[in-house]
């Protein structure tokens, strides 16, 4: 019998986690082989390897413990990859040489697949004096543009999609420009942005007091704190960024406050880290630990939870020694503190199984109890490891126990740490689990509510045919098995019908026992008022959260798959196969008419003997022109092979329909390491970027996009839709409209594609 609950789970395993040879031949023959590979790799540092391999295998079996994607895909492969998910890079020096050294480190880290975070508050503001060169500083945002271009270049080389977090302090003189940077739709696309909010700033907001913007001891400007806060809120309301990070709270609660200072997080915010900080991730699947689900006797098996957490902590501690690191500074930081980020997934499903409505006070109280049990078990397991293998090198008992997190821990745990030390400085975090949750049978992600109960997914097969398959939430599938066609109870709620303040209540309940932080998205309805939206952020502050991320669908951010707009509460009947939301893959290719209209453009690249001639032909649909094919010709035979390949690929994309404006974006992002050229008064980084610019100007001229650097204007062939849902963005990987902002990251529910996993 297959271990996979649904075809999508097996497809994700095969695509992302199954070990294969270079030619694509599977090495992991079965899912059990994958679990065995991971267990064996993480047991290699143990003295009794056979004993611990078997223990680790049992923890992985049945998807009870889910290591993060990099561990699942990389452990035991013999490949030069990092098993760590999160990095915060070194402090950026306020000098040209230091800035570009930091850029190089970021590129090396991203090349190995690490998501990175940076604090740009250390760079002097725009207009500040640069001594010795008789010039004014360009400011941190100009250097963020350089980072953004670097990330695009890494992506264009075929590496994993990059993910970066940029932070800036709320008292930096350029914070206003930082807050509004995402108003430009073409700028900083590779970054998530968050403002570092201090306690003093929040006090000033509540008092409507003046607030100084300073750098290097100089006050550059004074604003009203409430005005600055409202500016953050307005841009987040309209553009979904920036987020907010309550940085003083993070540092006060940090177990390592005595030996480090935090000013940034990883891209999804669940890991506040010091310079060169790194953290690995893994999740306890709570949905697999509920006994007698949907009955009066339903409860989480606390004994099984305690044993599973203990094994997970040992496995993750071993990863610290088993992993490679992009930079030696990251290796030293990880091994000196041995940070791990053990979290959960399936919380919402587990709550449903014990009869609790996600977001209710009872559910929040139960979440508090479960998360405390996990924290206790994790800390005590780490103490046991310290007895056996020694505490982390920078352990200082009194300083460690004086931190905000440890002050609220039970006295027996504190006494054990005081007596024996602890192996891992920090242990808990709730990370994005979108992909691994699908792989584990579509359990609810992290601490998020269930997104959708069930939907039908159309899958494009290798022979060109399409098959339908139903993707059902883990708890709903279990309900069907136990209850048949009985309607769902009214406590089944989902992300679309849940009031935003219920989201906050759940995040705050979990945060109390998480020593790092939580990646969570608070879904807000499109019609939420601005005042009610601001209340969400203030509630997050008042209730003890370490940060806040919201998502409000609108014309700028795009819509996501939703329940029926006519429904005001959770449905009480299950959608049957073939009904409900339907996710449709890319449309059939457009047919070519006998004749097409088009334009030919000449591009003369400096230093090249022969010009390129680029012909773009259009098709007319519903009185609108859209590009159909492209041809590139040149007398320079050196270009022949790649120009033919490029024209075929671009034309194939054009003929698929939908929003193809991303082709321009990708071409314009290509940098030639030999150098670009100045053309028509602007710097063009490569000949491919020049071709992208020509295509972009053509799309503007026919009215397909609004303008240079802007998005789609109208699309008469947009056939990538979700039936029963509002049309919105589509997945770059599979074309599905089932995109969800989950745990701070846009994630595809159909194929699991996410820049965070």
Does 230 participate in catalysis according to the annotation?
no
Cα(687)–Cα(698) distance, rounded to whole angstroms? 17
- Sort strands 278-285 and 340-345 into parallel, antiparallel or unpaired: parallel
> Mean pLDDT of all residues in the chain?
85
Does 266 participate in catalysis according to the annotation?
yes
Cα(65)–Cα(58) distance, rounded to whole angstroms? 9
Helix, coil or strand: residue 503: helix
Of the pLDDT bands very low, low, confident and very high (cuts 50, 70, 90), residue 715 is very low
Q: What pLDDT does residue 644 have? A: 82
Least confident of 101-110, 337-346, 424-433: 101-110
The catalytic position among 86, 151, 170, 268 is 268
Q: What pLDDT does residue 725 have? A: 32
Rounded average pLDDT over 106-124: 88
Per-residue model confidence as pLDDT tens digits over 222-252: 999 999 999 999 999 998 899 999 999 999 9
- Burial level of 545, CB count in 10 A (0-12/13-18/19+)? buried
CB contact at 8 A, 243 and 268: no
Give yes or no for residue 718 having a pLDDT over 80.
Answer: no
Of the pLDDT bands very low, low, confident and very high (cuts 50, 70, 90), residue 13 is very high
Give yes or no for residue 709 having a pLDDT over 70.
Answer: no
Q: What pLDDT does residue 707 have? A: 66
Helix, coil or strand: residue 515: coil
CA 298 to chain centre: 33
Rounded average pLDDT over 281-297: 97
- Burial level of 525, CB count in 10 A (0-12/13-18/19+)? middle
Rounded average pLDDT over 245-268: 96
Helix, coil or strand: residue 228: helix
Q: What pLDDT does residue 610 have? A: 75
Of the pLDDT bands very low, low, confident and very high (cuts 50, 70, 90), residue 714 is very low
CA 117 to chain centre: 12
Of the pLDDT bands very low, low, confident and very high (cuts 50, 70, 90), residue 683 is confident
Looking from the CA of 155 toward its CB, the CA atoms found within 13 Å total 20
Give yes or no for residue 723 having a pLDDT over 80.
Answer: no
Q: What pLDDT does residue 668 have? A: 83
- Burial level of 571, CB count in 10 A (0-12/13-18/19+)? middle
Of the pLDDT bands very low, low, confident and very high (cuts 50, 70, 90), residue 7 is confident
Of the pLDDT bands very low, low, confident and very high (cuts 50, 70, 90), residue 622 is low
Q: What pLDDT does residue 567 have? A: 32
Least confident of 6-20, 76-90, 171-185, 553-567: 553-567
Does 318 participate in catalysis according to the annotation?
no
- Burial level of 389, CB count in 10 A (0-12/13-18/19+)? middle
Rg for the chain, CA atoms, rounded: 26
H or E element at residue 418? helix 411-420
Per-residue model confidence as pLDDT tens digits over 557-582: 654 443 333 333 444 444 443 333 33
- Burial level of 133, CB count in 10 A (0-12/13-18/19+)? exposed
Greater model confidence, 755 or 516: 516
Give yes or no for residue 152 having a pLDDT over 90.
Answer: no
Rounded average pLDDT over 57-63: 97
Q: What pLDDT does residue 186 have? A: 75
Beta bridge partners of 600: 615
- 673 Cβ partners below 8 Å, 6+ apart? none
- Residue linked to tokens 């490679």: 324
CB contact at 8 A, 704 and 663: no
Q: What pLDDT does residue 636 have? A: 73
Most confident of 159-173, 177-191, 627-641, 721-735: 177-191
The catalytic position among 53, 105, 270, 629 is 270
The catalytic position among 85, 266, 494, 617 is 266
* Strand locations in 546-676 (E): 547-548, 550-551, 582-583, 597-603, 612-621, 624-633
Cα(586)–Cα(676) distance, rounded to whole angstroms? 35
**Phi–psi pair at 51, nearest 5 degrees:** -60, -50
CB contact at 8 A, 346 and 434: no
H or E element at residue 208? none
Q: What is the three-state SS of 152-202? A: HHHHHCCCCCCCEEEEEECCCCCHHHHHCHHHCCCCCCCEEEEEEECHHHH
Of the pLDDT bands very low, low, confident and very high (cuts 50, 70, 90), residue 590 is low
Query: What tokens does 718 get?
Result: 């947009």
Greater model confidence, 75 or 676: 75
Q: What pLDDT does residue 533 have? A: 97
Q: What pLDDT does residue 143 have? A: 92
Number of Cβ within 10 Å of residue 709's Cβ equals 15
- pTM exceeds 0.85: no
């Amino acid at each position: 019998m297959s271990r996979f609950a649904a075809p999508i789970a097996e497809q994700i395993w095969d695509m992302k986690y199954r070990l294969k040879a270079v030619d694509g031949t599977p090495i992991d023959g079965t899912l059990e082989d994958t679990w065995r590979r991971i267990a064996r790799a993480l047991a290699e540092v143990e003295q009794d390897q056979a004993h611990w391999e078997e223990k680790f295998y049992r923890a992985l079996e049945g998807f009870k413990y889910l290591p993060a994607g990099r561990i699942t895909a990389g452990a035991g492969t013999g490949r030069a990859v990092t098993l760590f998910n999160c990095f915060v890079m070194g402090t950026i020096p306020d000098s040209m040489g230091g800035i570009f050294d930091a850029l190089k480190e970021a590129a090396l880290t991203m090349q190995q697949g690490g998501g990175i975070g940076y604090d740009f508050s250390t760079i002097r503001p725009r207009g500040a004096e640069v001594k010795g060169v008789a010039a004014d500083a360009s400011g941190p945002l100009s250097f963020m543009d350089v980072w953004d271009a670097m990330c695009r270049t890494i992506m264009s080389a075929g590496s994993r999609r990059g993910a970066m977090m940029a932070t800036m302090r709320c008292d930096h003189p350029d914070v206003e420009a930082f807050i509004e940077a995402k108003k430009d739709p073409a700028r900083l696309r590779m970054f998530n942005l968050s403002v570092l909010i201090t306690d003093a700033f929040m006090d000033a907001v509540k008092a409507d007091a003046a607030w100084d913007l300073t750098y290097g001891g100089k006050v550059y400007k004074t604003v009203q704190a409430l005005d600055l806060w409202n500016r953050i809120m307005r841009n987040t309301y309209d553009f979904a960024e920036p987020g907010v990070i309550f940085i003083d709270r993070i540092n006060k609660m940090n177990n390592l406050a005595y030996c480090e200072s935090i000013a940034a997080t990883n891209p999804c915010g669940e890991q506040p880290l010091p310079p060169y900080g790194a953290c690995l991730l893994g999740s306890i699947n709570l949905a697999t630990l509920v006994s007698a689900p949907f009955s009066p006797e339903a409860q989480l098996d606390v004994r099984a939870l305690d044993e599973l957490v203990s094994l997970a902590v040992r496995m993750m501690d071993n990863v610290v020694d088993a992993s490679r690191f992009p930079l030696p500074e990251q290796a030293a930081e990880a091994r000196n503190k041995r940070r791990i980020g053990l979290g959960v997934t399936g919380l919402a499903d587990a709550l449903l199984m014990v009869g609790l409505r996600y977001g209710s006070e009872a559910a929040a109280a139960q979440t508090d109890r479960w998360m405390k049990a996990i924290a206790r078990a994790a800390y005590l397991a780490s103490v046991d490891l310290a007895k056996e293998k020694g505490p982390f090198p920078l352990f200082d008992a009194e300083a460690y126990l004086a931190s905000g997190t440890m002050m609220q821990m039970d006295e027996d745990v504190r006494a054990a740490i005081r007596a024996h030390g602890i192996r891992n400085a920090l242990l808990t975090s709730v990370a994005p689990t979108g992909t691994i949750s699908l792989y584990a049978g579509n359990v609810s992600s992290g601490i998020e509510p269930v997104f959708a109960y069930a939907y039908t997914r159309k899958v494009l097969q290798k022979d060109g045919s399409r098959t339908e398959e139903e993707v059902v939430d883990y708890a709903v599938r279990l309900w069907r098995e136990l209850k048949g066609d009985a309607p769902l109870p009214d406590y089944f709620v989902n992300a679309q019908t849940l009031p935003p303040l219920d989201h906050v209540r759940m995040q705050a309940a979990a945060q109390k026992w998480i020593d790092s932080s939580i990646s969570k998205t608070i879904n807000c309805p499109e019609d939420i008022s601005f005042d009610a939206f601001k209340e969400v952020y203030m509630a997050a502050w008042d209730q003890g959260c370490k940060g806040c991320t919201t998502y409000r669908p609108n014309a700028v951010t795009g819509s996501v798959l939703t329940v029926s707009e006519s429904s005001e509460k959770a449905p009480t009947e299950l959608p049957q196969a073939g009904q409900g939301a339907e996710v449709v893959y890319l449309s059939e290719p457009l047919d070519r008419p006998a004749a097409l209209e088009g334009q030919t453009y000449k591009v003369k690249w400096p230093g090249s003997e022969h010009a390129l001639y680029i012909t773009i032909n259009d098709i007319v649909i519903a009185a609108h022109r859209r590009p159909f094919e492209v041809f590139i010709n040149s007398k320079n035979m050196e270009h022949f092979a790649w120009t033919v390949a490029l024209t075929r690929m671009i034309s194939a994309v054009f003929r698929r329909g939908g929003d193809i404006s991303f082709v321009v974006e990708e071409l314009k992002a290509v940098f030639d390491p030999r150098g670009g050229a100045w053309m028509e008064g602007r710097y063009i980084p490569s000949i491919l970027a020049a071709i992208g610019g020509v295509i972009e100007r053509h799309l503007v001229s026919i009215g397909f996009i609004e303008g240079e650097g802007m998005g789609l204007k109208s699309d008469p062939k947009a056939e990538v839709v979700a039936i029963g849902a509002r049309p919105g963005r589509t997945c770059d990987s599979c074309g599905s409209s089932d995109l969800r902002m989950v745990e701070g990251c846009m994630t595809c529910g159909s194929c699991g594609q996410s820049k965070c996993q």
